[in-house]
Every structure is written in C-alpha cells, then in structure tokens.
Homo-oligomer: A and B are copies of this chain.
Amino acid sequence: MIIILKSEVTDEQVQHVVERVEALGLKAHLSRGTYRTIIGVIGDEQKISAEPLRAIPGVHDVIPVLPPYKLASREAHPQPSVIDVAGVKIGGGSLAMIAGPCAVEEPERMNAIGAAVKSAGANILRGGAFKPRTSPYAYQGMGEPGLKLLRETGDKFGLPVVTEVMDPRYVEMVERYADMIQIGARNMQNFSLLTEVGRTKKPVLLKRGMSATIEDLLMSAEYILSQGNSQVVLCERGVKGFDKVTRNLFDVAAVAVVKGLSHLPIIVDPSHATGRPDLIPACALAGVAAGADGVHIEVHDCPERAKSDGPQALLPRQYSEVMGQIRKLAALFGKTISPSK
C-alpha cells in the first residue's frame, strides 16, 4: 500500500500517519520527493485495507498494490478452476452451454424446449421460477412448482439445471431442486444472499451487475468463496451503456481481464447483454473466441407467448445454428463442450 501525502502536509501529520501504520503492526517507509512525500507500507496490506487512512489529516490518497480479493485471485490458485455441475465440467478447456426459457413455462413447453436444446447440444438447462422483474405488475414466476418442473425436465433430458434465487429465505428450497444456483445481475451485491449461497454445497453462477467493475464482481465471488463454497462460475452479461441500440453493453474484454486476475471460470450471456436475437450469434462467438468457458442463451419455441423476455429469445432452430458454429470454434481452440449424461 502506498500513502501519498498532501503537498502542504506538516511534519506532525507525517508522524501521525507513520504511527497509525506502525500501530497496526506494519512498517512505514518514507520517501520525500520534490513535490510530494509518499509512504510505502510494508507488511500484510490486508490488515490495514479496511482502515480509513484516507481520512487522516494530511493524506492525499491511498493506493493499494494488492487486489482486495484473495480466494478468487490467480495468486491463491494459479491453475484454472474446473467446476463440476452434476457431471458437466466448466473451465479448464470444458465449455458450458446453458440454454432454456427465461421463465419456467407450462409442462408441454418445457418439454419442447428441453428436447430442442438437448438435441442442439446444450449441456445445462436453465429456467427461472423466481423472476426479478422491474415492474411489480409483471409476471413473477411459478415459484416452487416451477422448480419442480425444471427439475423434471432436466431429468427427462439428462441435463443438469440452473435456476435463480433472489431471496435468502428460498436458498434452501432452490438448493434442493437445482444443480447450480444462479445469482442474477441485480443481486450481485445482495450480500445476505451471497453469504447464504456460500453456505450451500451447490455450484453458483454469479452474474455481473450492470454497473459492477470486474473488481466488484470478484469481490462478490469472494463473499461466496469465503463461506466455504469454492464452486463459483462468473458470467459477463452486459453493463449499462449509453447507446440504447442494445439492452446492455456486452463487455467481451471482461472475459480476458478475469482470466488474468482469477482462476474462476467465466461464461458469457449474449441474450441479456444485447436483448436482441439478431445479435446473439455474433456475441456468442465473440465470447468463445475471447476465451469464455461457456455460453448462456435464452431459447423459446414461441417467443411471442413467453411469460418473460420473449423478444430476446432465440428459436430452437436459431439456437441449433449458433451451436453448430460454436462447436467449430471450440474445436479450433482445442476446447470441448462437456457432455451431459
């Protein structure tokens, strides 16, 4: 950690900062420049990172030299983590192909969609039983019957299932039905919820918040990891942008940034990132080319009747086409789409 002092700092103030640092069991190394004095803090920066050093009189800025996350960092775990979702591997060269409707729908529809995505090559089935909707008047999901239906559909087609939990009171219920628990973008910093899923034994799909930096995302992963659950898969799904031509701004570079900082797998979700079926194939391929460990796509066989987010769903036929291209791209990069049962 580096503490930069103000140009007009007094000797007393410098002394006070040094004492604060030393009182925390660290060493302070003073460097007087022509215009500014800086203090290099020597020792375990983590001990001091929560201290309000910037509030000490005379301090101009405090610059950490280590990332604030530990368990999520590459240093802690140099090899890429491989997460196992009921037999499907994510990371380390194995790709997750997650597909399904936005919300769990009635049984015939689930059957049709399940069959379609399985035959196209998806290896994990998705579907929401609890839906975070901007409007209180919009469809909120089927609840537990939806979880049950998703489970049955997954079992029928030999696909593990992932579904979102929005409320810490339902984590236990969702854990009972799902193979992987999703934390949605709006809940990426719902710390109670992160802590609760950190206590489960199921893999977690953690989606990046719309205004979250990559450091924020890794810190949210750290919440889960620090509770003892090391099975976290990150997901880039677009951040807030100024151009309304797409729903969000797909930050494909985030894939490569995360690969440099963390051992955790990261997948991409072009459905939410763009909100436009016509852009999903290009962005899915871009994500895989950038090194993503999987692709999450919403698929519906009749989007105009979908209970949620129909306008952004791919038709089964379109999904099958993009899967064909993803397969070729994966092969080119020596990656495998991990088989489900």
Residues of A within 8 A of B (CB): 2, 4, 7, 20, 29, 31-36, 38, 40-46, 49-50, 52-57, 60, 63, 65-66, 68-69, 75, 132-139, 166-169, 186-187, 189-192, 195, 209-211, 213-216, 219, 222-223, 226, 239-246, 249-253, 255-257, 259-260, 273-274, 278-279, 282-283, 285-291, 303-306, 309-311, 313, 328-329, 332
List of B residues within 8 angstroms of A75 by Cβ = 7
**Interchain CB contact under 8 A, A214 and B243:** yes
User: Is A55 touching B213 in the complex (CB atoms < 8 A)?
Assistant: no
In the complex, the answer to whether B190 meets A329 with C-beta atoms within 8 Å is: no
Check A304/B56 contact, CB under 8 A, given A33-B41, A245-B213, A290-B282. Answer: yes
**Known contacts A252-B252, A283-B253; is A50 also within 8 Å of B311 by CB?**
no
Interface centre among A168, A257, A286 (most CB of B within 10 A): A286
- Please determine whether B260 and A242 come into contact, CB atoms closer than 8 angstroms: no
Q: List 22 A-B contacts (CB under 8 A).
A: A55-B303, A56-B304, A57-B304, A133-B191, A134-B189, A136-B222, A137-B226, A166-B190, A186-B189, A209-B211, A213-B242, A239-B241, A239-B242, A246-B257, A249-B251, A252-B252, A252-B283, A253-B273, A253-B282, A260-B278, A288-B289, A289-B289
Residue of B nearest to A42 (CB): B33
Q: Which chain B residues border A274 with CB–CB below 8 Å?
A: 253
Complex Cα–Cα for A38 and B34 (A):
17
Q: Check if A166 sits within 8 Å of B137, measured CB to CB.
A: no
* Of B49, B210, B278, B303, the contact of A256 (CB 8 Å cutoff): B278
Contact B44 A34 (CB under 8 A): yes
Q: Which one of B60, B244, B310 contacts A55 once the chains associate, using CB atoms below 8 Å?
A: B310
Q: Give bound CA distance, A259 to B305, whole Å.
A: 29
Q: How far is the CB of A254 from chain B (nearest CB, A)?
A: 8
Contact B52 A65 (CB under 8 A): no
Chain B residues whose C-beta falls within 8 Å of the C-beta of A303 in the assembled complex: 52, 55
CA distance A243 to B217 in the complex (A): 11
Residue of B nearest to A227 (CB): B136
Most chain B Cβ neighbours within 10 Å, of A7, A34, A68: A34
Query: Smallest distance from the beta carbon of A12 to chain B beta carbons, Å?
Result: 14
Nearest to A246 among chain B residues (CB) is: B253
CB contacts (< 8 Å) of A167 on chain B: these are 168, 192
Is A304 a contact of B55 with CB atoms below 8 Å?
Answer: yes
The residue of chain B having its C-beta at the shortest distance from the C-beta of A257 within the complex is B245
- A15 nearest CB across to chain B (Å): 14
Contacts of A52 in B (CB 8 A): 303-306, 309-311
Q: Which residues of B contact A309 (CB under 8 A)?
A: 52
For A251, give its contact among B31, B50, B241, B255 (CB under 8 Å). Answer: B241
**Residue contact B50 to A135, C-beta cutoff 8 Å:** yes
Report whether B289 and A285 are in contact in the complex, using a CB–CB cutoff of 8 Å. yes
Known interface pairs A214-B245, A288-B289. Does A190 touch B191 (Cβ–Cβ under 8 Å)? no
Give the nearest-CB partner of A45 in chain B: B35
Minimum distance in angstroms from A57 CB to a CB of chain B: 8
